[in-house]
Amino acid sequence: MLLAIDLGNTNIKYGVFDGDNLVASFRVSSRISRTSDEYGSVLVGLLADKDIKKSDITGIIFSSVIPALNYTICHMCEFFFGISPLVVGPGVKTGLNIKADNPREVGADIIVNSVSAYNKYGGPIVVIDFGTATTFDVIGEGCELKGVVIAPGIKTSLEGLATKTAQLPMVELDAPKTVIGKNTKHCMQSGIIFGFAGLVENIISKIKKELKVQEIFVVATGGLGEIIAKQVKCINKVDRTLTLDGLKMIYNLNND
């Protein structure tokens, strides 16, 4: 079995593949203060709940956007599973042609999502990842990453409102029935959900204009992708396992 680990700014996503099938997935918060023993004991417990033993794991691939946690997670893999993980980064085969001023600046999450989206759906394609940041990855024919747009994340924006203002609370992220709000909760939900829907539509429109195309396939991933997809017409597909699938593809490419 393959263990895929996606270390994001807010959460760590674990996925276990048995052949081509994703048989289990878990999500835990990513905290720099946690030790490799803490991460390992939690993961082993989660695996046990799915009747997966440590010895069942024969390979591990790992991508990260928090360099300060890389050693911790790598040490966890080596200590608990006896496996040195394949870490997505320079020197790892991905099949992605990165057209950036400095390809080393491109985050591992963007690389993995781009590889996954192109291989699953073809190109040209745009991946919108609704995470701590909202990223738009533009992939052309030949698995070419043409560029990226980075905007604030939905939860990041909401937390900014709630922590930087005296009278605005944290609210659940549900779309209200009307745009014009009649109470604080309704007003904030409207601004966040409909505001980000407008952001998505505008950026996709500008991407199509720059690429000189009438239409482009757009896939959304990340925890809040489904909420925004219901508010816009430009998102064609919501794929919650896009990143884990991409990690498996990259692992296979480097172990053929």
Contact 194, 159 (CB under 8 A): no
In this structure, the answer to whether residues 23 and 67 fall within a common structural domain is: yes
Q: Are 66 and 131 within one domain?
A: no
Interatomic CA distance for residues 95 and 93, integer angstroms: 6
**Beta-carbon count within 10 A of 117 CB:** 27
What pLDDT score does 66 carry? 94
3, 35, 42, 52, 54 from 47: Cα distances, Å:
10, 19, 9, 5, 8
Regions in the chain scoring below 70 on pLDDT: none
Q: What pLDDT is recorded for position 223?
A: 78
Q: Among 64, 87, 110, where does a domain finish?
A: 87
Q: 212 in helix, strand or coil?
A: coil
229 lies in the same domain as 125: yes
The 8-class DSSP code of residue 178 comes to: -
Whether residue 128 contacts residue 136, with contact meaning beta carbons closer than 8 Å, is answered with: yes
CATH of the domain at 43: 3.30.420.40
Task: Say whether 20 is catalytic.
Answer: no
Given 6, 109, 129, 245, the catalytic residue: 109
124 prior amide bond cis, ω within 30: yes
Using one digit for the tens of pLDDT, what is the confidence trace for 212-230? Answer: 999 999 999 987 899 999 9
Residues 149 and 40 in one domain: no
